[in-house]
A = this chain, B = another copy of it.
Amino acid sequence: MKIGFIGLGHMGAPMALNLIKAGHALSVFDLSADAMRTLADAGATLAGSPKAAATGAEWVITMLPAAAHVRAVLSGEDGVLAGVSKGVTIIDSSTIDPASAKAFAALAQANGNRFADAPVSGGTGGAVAGTLTFMVGGTAELYESVKPVLSGMGKNIVHCGETGTGQVAKLCNNLVLGVTMAGVAEAMALGEALGIDAKVLGGIMNTSTGRCWSSDTYNPFPGVIETAPSSRGYTGGFGTDLMLKDLGLATDAAKQARQPAYMGALAQQLYQAMSSHGDGKLDFSAIIKLYRHEGGEKG
């Protein structure tokens, strides 16, 4: 297949590389010359604009930081919609708000194209390994049609419902993630202050009703899970500022829907406090620093 791919960042670059490995012909675009060079080395054709990348493509995939970038890449003078052939499906794997996803679908439709929102989970590790989960919004027929393409980059392709629900699934999941991590951090630090061994406490939670991904896979207390970022100084992993972006999308969507988001909004402020302390680049499980009494590191 000929695929136009726009956005070659930490996630986009390995995703595009996996598509090439899967046998597709890629025409790529990114503002970063370095990112372009990496893809060229792997056999991609370099395009001078989103429009050029989309011209002649059978599929277009975008992987960008925020809705404003997606809008510019689609609708700009040199944008995808100016170059793409009628009937081609555009897949946006960026994490953005559901309302924007619907608006982009309408823009695409007016241009004679189809649009699927397909944000991912699995992080850079999953992007490199080709084991991402894709949450797809669109008709059942559209879902079936995009599945073979996405399979080149992920192992779990889920149909979430109509346009925008891929984004809804992503933001609802990450709302829970942000809240549970804050809750686990709070409880682990409280347990430490009350004199229980962290590994013992982690073990109990993980076999009881407090069990969750934030405790059994990604425990924020150093040494409880050897493979977690907390055991290597909170490096790597899912950055606090990215969690902040996703909680911002969740609380904004709640605001639009007039739904209270008490727990999510509070968790958001706690991550914001971390970021204001200069810890925005650390893994989001470093939120436990707000609770622990460690000399200068204390939040």
Contact = CB atoms under 8 A, between A and B. Distances in A.
A277 interface: yes
B204 A213 contact: no
A226 interface: no
Contact of A272 (B200, B209, B210, B255): B255
A272 B248 contact: no
A255 to B, nearest CB: 6
A113 interface: no
A201 B172 CA distance: 8
A164 interface: yes
A108 interface: no
A254 interface: yes
A260 interface: yes
Contacts of A156: 207
Given A168-B191, A253-B194, A276-B259, A176 B210 contact: yes
A90 interface: no
Interface string A222-261: 0000000000000000000000100010110111011111
A35 B250 CA distance: 37
A38 interface: no
Contact of A175 (B121, B183, B211, B270): B183
Contact of A204 (B160, B179, B258, B276): B160
Contacts of A275: 258
Given A254-B272, A259-B189, A293-B276, A180 B179 contact: yes
A87 interface: no
B266 A266 contact: yes
A98 B253 CA distance: 22
B277 A190 contact: no
A200 B280 CA distance: 31
A244 B255 CA distance: 9
A268 B190 CA distance: 16
A175 B195 contact: no
A261 B172 contact: no
What 7 pairs between A and B have smallest CB-CB spacing? A179-B183, A212-B212, A176-B210, A173-B210, A260-B273, A265-B265, A172-B187
Interface of A: 98, 121, 133, 135, 156, 158-162, 164-165, 168-169, 172-177, 179-180, 182-184, 186-191, 193-197, 200-201, 203-205, 207-215, 218, 244, 248, 250-251, 253-255, 257-270, 272-273, 275-277, 280, 290-291, 293, 296, 298-299
